[in-house]
Amino acid sequence: MAEPRQKIISEEKKALLDKLLLEKIPLAGITRVCDVSETWLQDYINRKTCLGLPLIFLCIAT
């Protein structure tokens, strides 16, 4: 495992993440391209949904 690093995720990168999350791209791919950890990304998604912010990709398909 690589040495853990703490870094601040910029607002620009968060905006890119929001756009990528709307596409049918696996989270692992998004984390690789944006250089964020899977744990951080999952926490980011959870925080947004707890705040009631819209994430279209989380809609349940029937």
Mean of pLDDT values over 20-33: 92
Contact 48, 42 (CB under 8 A): no
* pLDDT score at 56: 53
- pTM here? 0.70
Least confident range of 11-15, 40-44, 54-58: 54-58
At residue 58, does pLDDT exceed 80?
Answer: no
DSSP result, the chain: -PPP---PPPHHHHHHHHHHHTSS--HHHHHHHHT--HHHHHHHHHHHHHTT---GGGSPP-
Closest of 25, 28, 22 to residue 42, by C-alpha:
28
pLDDT of residue 61: 41
